[in-house]
Amino acid sequence: MSLPILARHHSVGAALWLWEYLRDNTKVIDAAWMPVADGIEITDVQLGYRIDVSEGTARRWRMRLEKLGFLYSERTRARYRRLWISNQNAPRWEQSLLQAPATGFVN
């Protein structure tokens, strides 16, 4: 399995650790974007705790992955977000980078 994120490891940097954690907590579905942890809300503090980094580091990594098109987040309330990761094995993955999942998408 070829993962495009690995081809961009220089721009992704250490944020790859966050992406791996999120990917491990995502059910693989046949869609361009897959909800993380069945779409539950999570904060950067919780993400940082889970991967043993500070809140600021988790936020920076999340924002870097969003900027590069590997992650999409939707703010649901103060500090809470729902997260989706890109399904890099879905057909036409590169064209789906610009298309965020629909609001309210639930697995």
Q: How many residues does the chain have?
A: 107
Q: What is the pLDDT of residue 78?
A: 93
pTM score? 0.76
CATH architecture of residue range(s) 15-95? Orthogonal Bundle (1.10)
Q: What is the pLDDT of residue 47?
A: 95
Q: What is the pLDDT of residue 1?
A: 44
Q: What is the pLDDT of residue 29?
A: 83
CB atoms within 10 A of CB 26: 19
User: 55 CB contacts (<8 Å, ≥6 apart)?
Assistant: 44, 45, 48
Both tokens of 49, joined, read 């705790």
Cα separation, 90 vs 100, in Å, equals 14
Query: pLDDT of the chain along its 107 residues, tens only?
Result: 456 676 666 778 888 899 899 999 998 887 888 999 999 999 999 999 999 999 999 999 999 999 988 899 999 999 999 999 988 776 654 444 555 565 555 44
User: 96 CB contacts (<8 Å, ≥6 apart)?
Assistant: 32, 33, 86, 90
